[in-house]
Structure formats: C-alpha cells, structure tokens
Amino acid sequence: METLDPDLLRTFLAFVDGGSLARAASSVGRSPSAVTAQMQRLEEIVGEPLLAPQGRGRGLTPAGEDLVGHARRILAAHREAWLAMKGARAAGRVAIGTTQDFADSGLPDLLRAFAVSHPRVGIELRVGRSTELAQALRSGSLDLAIVMRQAAMPDEIGILREPMIWLCSQKGLASRQEELPLALLDPYCGFREAAIAALDAAGRRYRIAAGSASLAGLRTAVNAGVALTLRTARFAHSGIVEAPRELGLPQVPTAEFAIRLRAGAGGPARDLAALLSGDLALPGLRG
C-alpha cells in the first residue's frame, strides 16, 4: 500500500486554500508545472481524479472534497509529532517579533502549539512595526521576526504572500465624497505606499482622512465609516469587510511577509521558525 506523502498533501491543500494551481505554486515555492506533476502523482496514489476542469480553472472532484479533511488531519498529526520530538528536551527562551496583522490572526494558535510541545522554553513576544522589528532582529534582541518584505534578505527562512484588498466598514462609508477618504498608517508603511501608488496610477482623487501609528487607530477609523483602508484579509473582521466593487477601486499588488531568523539563533527558535513557515499562511486564501 502506498502512503500519502505529506509534501503532496501540503501542495494539495495549497490549491484548496488558494483556489488555483498558480496560487498553490506561489504558496509552496514551486513552479506551476511542478505543482501539476505533484497533483498527478497524488491522483495516482489515491487512484481517482482529485481535480477537474471548472470554468476557466480547476475545482475539486468528490474524491478531492473527501481528501481535504483527511489531508488536514494527517498534516496536523505530523506537526504535533514533529513538535513533540523537537521540544521534549528543549529549554531556554525565544524572543519573537511580529506585526499586529499576525498577532491578531494565525500566530496565537501556533504559539500555543509550540508552548505545549516545548514546555521548558520561555516565549517573549514583541508586537510592532516592520522597521522596528527588523532593527531589533539585527541588534540581536529578537531571535525571529515576521515583517513586511521590501527586498530579499539572507536571514529569510519563509515567505508569506497574501493579496492586498481594499477594506471598509460593514455599514459602508459614512458619507460619499468626490475624494476617496483613506485611513493609513503613518510612514513608512508598505500598505500606505501601495494604496497611494495604485490610486495615483488610476488617476483617482483621494485624501488622507485618518492617519494612525497603530492598527488599533486604523481599525477605529474604518469601523466608523470615516475612511477605507488597504490591508490583507487578516484585517477583515469585527465589522470590517472587503470594499464593494461599486467603488471602482484600482487593483493592488500582493503583500509579501518574511519570516526572518537571526543568525546563530538556538534550536527552539529554529523550531518555532520552521513551524511558522509551514503553518502561518492564511487558510482559505482568496486573491
């Protein structure tokens, strides 16, 4: 009996969560042809087609739908076993820095899994802006950091790609104006730069209706309907939703976040970095 290769299952779930083979390829860091070959190999092992033509792309067959739950459970079991073996005798501390995006979404569950499997390892968490965290990593006060990526760095051990999306209050904007009201973080912010560049390129008039040094302030302005903003789907909760198409907002790029590990970081930090690289991607990603 052939076994289900976890690497094949990871690629399969990348397709399920991303919605296309191209997005799956970007997520797992392989070429589209390599991802197609992996899916064909998985179908050979299962003995049934998992993907079928659907519109302009591909969708899941009934067998593919059945495999999704099994694949998630298998990979969860692999993760738990790997963490348990790694963490059984580990001790010390790990200092991790993250932007607020991940502190609110994705990171808490993974830190809990790490704490359970590495009971003798202390965790120090710092939440801040990408520039501040990158400096702390360089100075050695952080072991690893999750930051917005501006350029390739030698200490990157994982890259997360998530579509930027325009977001507004679930109730809509409080008032319609000729100039588009924006809520943006203070400079420097990659989302701020991307929003302004996209609007300028489209010739769309706008004004900075709300500026903030924190995501909490940004969320307040957006929830109030004072302005809309540009973030990823991680920001879309608690009354904030994707902006309606009727606003005619321009297309925006994909955001890239890097998981960076300090040179010389200890074993527990490397374990946590590997866990984040494999499991921090946003489930059900659409974009």
Whether residues 140 and 246 fall in one domain: no
Whether residues 263 and 144 fall in one domain: yes
In-domain check, residue 14: yes
Residue 33 sits in a domain of what CATH number? 1.10.10.10
**pLDDT confidence of residue 207:** 94
Whether residues 63 and 199 fall in one domain: no
Whether residues 145 and 270 fall in one domain: yes
In-domain check, residue 40: yes
The boundaries of the domain holding residue 221 are 165-252
Which of 84, 105, 125 corresponds to the end of one domain?
84
CA triplet 230, 236, 237: central angle to 5 degrees?
145
Whether residues 187 and 201 fall in one domain: yes
Q: Confidence class of residue 24 from pLDDT cuts 50, 70 and 90? A: confident
pLDDT digits (tens, 9 = 90+) for 26-80: 777 788 888 889 989 999 998 989 998 887 788 899 999 999 988 888 887 877 7
DSSP letter for 136, please: H
Whether residues 135 and 266 fall in one domain: yes
DSSP letter for 250, please: P
**pLDDT confidence of residue 96:** 96
Whether residues 246 and 210 fall in one domain: yes
Whether residues 145 and 173 fall in one domain: no
**pLDDT confidence of residue 287:** 32
**pLDDT confidence of residue 283:** 53
Position 285 pLDDT exceeds 50: no
In-domain check, residue 141: yes
Whether residues 20 and 153 fall in one domain: no
Nearest Cα to 232, choosing from 245, 242, 221, 218?
Answer: 242
Whether residues 93 and 152 fall in one domain: yes
Whether residues 122 and 183 fall in one domain: no
Q: Which residue has the higher pLDDT, 82 or 24?
A: 24
Q: Which residue has the higher pLDDT, 153 or 283?
A: 153
In-domain check, residue 239: yes
**pLDDT confidence of residue 86:** 63
pLDDT digits (tens, 9 = 90+) for 148-184: 998 888 999 888 888 899 999 999 888 877 899 999 9
Q: Report, as an integer, the average pLDDT of 117-121.
A: 83
In-domain check, residue 235: yes
Residue 204 sits in a domain of what CATH number? 3.40.190.10
**pLDDT confidence of residue 284:** 44
Beta strands in 50-106 (DSSP E): 51-54, 57-60, 92-98
In-domain check, residue 171: yes
Indicate the number of domains in the chain.
3
Which of 33, 52, 84 corresponds to the end of one domain?
84
- Average predicted confidence (pLDDT) for the chain: 87
Whether residues 121 and 137 fall in one domain: yes
In-domain check, residue 1: no
Nearest Cα to 258, choosing from 177, 140, 147, 141?
Answer: 147
106: left (phi over 0), alpha (psi -120 to 50) or beta: left
Helix (H, G, I), strand (E, B) or coil at 33: helix
In-domain check, residue 145: yes
Position 138 pLDDT exceeds 60: yes
Residue type, 188: Y
Give the phi and the psi of residue 286 in degrees, each rounded to 5: -130, 125
pLDDT digits (tens, 9 = 90+) for 219-261: 999 999 999 999 998 898 889 999 998 889 999 998 999 999 9
d(CA 133, CA 147): 7
Which of 63, 84, 105 corresponds to the end of one domain?
84
